[in-house]
Amino acid sequence: MGKMYKENSLSKNQQIIFDLINKSSEPLKAYTILFSVQKKGIKAPPQVYRALDKLVETGKIHKIESKNAFVACRNSNCEISKATAFSICESCEMVDEISDTKLSKYLSGFNHKKGMKFKRFNLEFFGICKKCKKD
């Protein structure tokens, strides 16, 4: 019969917070999330941070390190957050997850001269997005 774990299901708080991030068009910060979910009974920072930690760990969301904010994963290929890349607009703050197989392969195969073997990478590109350039 094999494994019957609830492998892919989220707990109540995890689901609430994932839904919020997933439907957002922009990265959300922890305390913005906290404020938004207070009506649903999530009232304290640890509740938010624990859910965020778990969601990051399982690859459902990613942390944009340069912004201390979180986005839902839009890329089924970035298996458990081992290989993430984002484009970030310095004007409107828009963040877009980059899904580029060649880039991903190139970086996953990159070997450090000093012999360190990498398990994971995170890449953040910065620029001005198309929309902002027009304005």
User: Could you list the residues that contact DNA (CB under 7 A)?
Assistant: 3-6, 9, 11-14, 29-32, 41-47, 49-51, 53-54, 68
How far apart are alpha carbons 64 and 81 in whole angstroms?
12
* Binds 123: which of Zn ion, a second copy, DNA, none (CB < 5-8 Å by kind): a second copy
Residue tagged 């917070």 (tokens): 17
Among residue numbers 46 through 65, which ones bind a second copy (CB under 8 A)?
A: 65
Of 14-22, 28-36, 49-57, 112-120, which part binds a second copy (CB under 8 A)?
112-120
Residue tagged 């001005």 (tokens): 128
Position 83 contacts Zn ion (CB under 5 A): no
Position 89 contacts a second copy (CB under 8 A): yes
- Cβ atoms of residues 134 and 97 within 8 Å: no
How far apart are alpha carbons 6 and 132 in whole angstroms?
43
Position 124 contacts a second copy (CB under 8 A): yes
Q: And the tokens for 61?
A: 């969301």
Position 75 contacts Zn ion (CB under 5 A): yes
Q: And the tokens for 32?
A: 């913005």
Amino acid at the residue 62: H
Q: Which residues bind a second copy (CB under 8 A)?
A: 65-66, 87, 89-90, 96, 98, 100, 103, 106-107, 110, 112-130
